[in-house]
Amino acid sequence: MRMTEDDKEKVIYNQEHNDPLMELKEIIKQIANVSKVEIKRVAPKECEEIKDLILRSTPDDLYEKMVVGYLTSICAECMYPDTFHLQRNDLDYIGFELEKGTIETEIAGKMLGTCMKGGKIKVNKAGDETGSSMNGGEIIADEIMGIGNTLNGKIIAGKVGKISKNQGADIIINGVKYKRSLLDRLLGK
């Protein structure tokens, strides 16, 4: 994606003036790849501006969804020790690589808490692949459609639809610790 001179001027204006109306597409134009470090480098520096950007964003493709997911983590870490109350119910990748802080929302999309290393996420409902590759932290939900393969951390849920076979996290469902049966472990399920 090539930047026009007009785009470059807009980016420079935003960086110099920390424009509170920075848009998702502007962030995407400025990053070399989707990573927390890259997004943190170009995102607004104030927590409230990041929160406003998240609320205004309408991510369509996977790339945009991942960027907004990183923004939710950056905002929660910026607000720490306060809780980030996310007033959106339609986002995938909430808490992407979260390291500290707390995010609360009613309904999360897919990939909630992907690659999280710390912190806490509280939701009423979460989509598929919740906690994929999480290596720490805690996810608390009333209902989860599906738990992805985890490395570590803790997931507490009232109800879970499906659970991927590779689980390193402590999973507690309706007050009972999840354990694969001996037969499932022997058969690699």
Is the previous residue joined to 20 through a cis bond, with omega within 30 degrees of 0? no
pLDDT of residue 21: 58
pLDDT digits (tens, 9 = 90+) for 146-161: 999 999 999 999 999 9
Q: What pTM was computed for the model? A: 0.84
180, pLDDT greater than 90: no
17, pLDDT greater than 50: no
SS3 154: strand
**What is the phi/psi pair of residue 167, to 5°?**
-120, 120
pLDDT of residue 116: 98
pLDDT digits (tens, 9 = 90+) for 117-140: 999 999 999 999 999 999 999 999
Give the C-alpha separation, 36 to 54, whole Å: 15
DSSP state of 27: H
pLDDT digits (tens, 9 = 90+) for 78-113: 999 999 999 999 899 999 999 999 999 999 999 999
The angle at the Cα of 80, spanning 79 to 82, to the nearest 5 degrees, equals: 75
Give the C-alpha separation, 97 to 119, whole Å: 10
End-to-end CA distance of the chain: give it in Å, rounded.
Answer: 43
pLDDT of residue 11: 42
pLDDT of residue 179: 85
